[in-house]
Chains A and B, each alone.
Chain A
Amino acid sequence: KNQVEQSPQSLIILEGKNCTLQCNYTVSPFSNLRWYKQDTGRGPVSLTIMTFSENTKSNGRYTATLDADTKQSSLHITASQLSDSASYICVVSAPKAAGNKLTFGGGTRVLVKP
Chain B
Amino acid sequence: DTAVSQTPKYLVTQMGNDKSIKCEQNLGHDTMYWYKQDSKKFLKIMFSYNNKELIINETVPNRFSPKSPDKAHLNLHINSLELGDSAVYFCASSRPGLALNEQFFGPGTRLTVL
Contacts and interface: CB of A to CB of B under 8 A. Distances in A.
B45 A49 contact: no
Interface string A52-96: 000000000000000000000000000000000001010001001
Interface string B39-68: 011111100100000011000000000000
A42 B107 CA distance: 5
Contact of B100 (A93, A101, A105): A93
Contacts of A114: none
Contacts of B55: 99
A27 interface: no
Most buried by A among B41, B94, B108: B41
A106 B45 contact: no
B56 A106 contact: no
Nearest to B4: A43
Interface residues of A, number: 23
A95 B40 CA distance: 27
For the complex of A and B, list the 4 residue pairs with the smallest distance between their C-beta atoms, beginning with the closest. A43-B105, A104-B43, A100-B101, A32-B100
Contacts of B56: 99, 101
B42 A41 contact: no
B90 interface: yes
A84 B43 CA distance: 20
B108 A100 contact: no
A58 to B, nearest CB: 16
Contacts of B101: 93, 96, 100
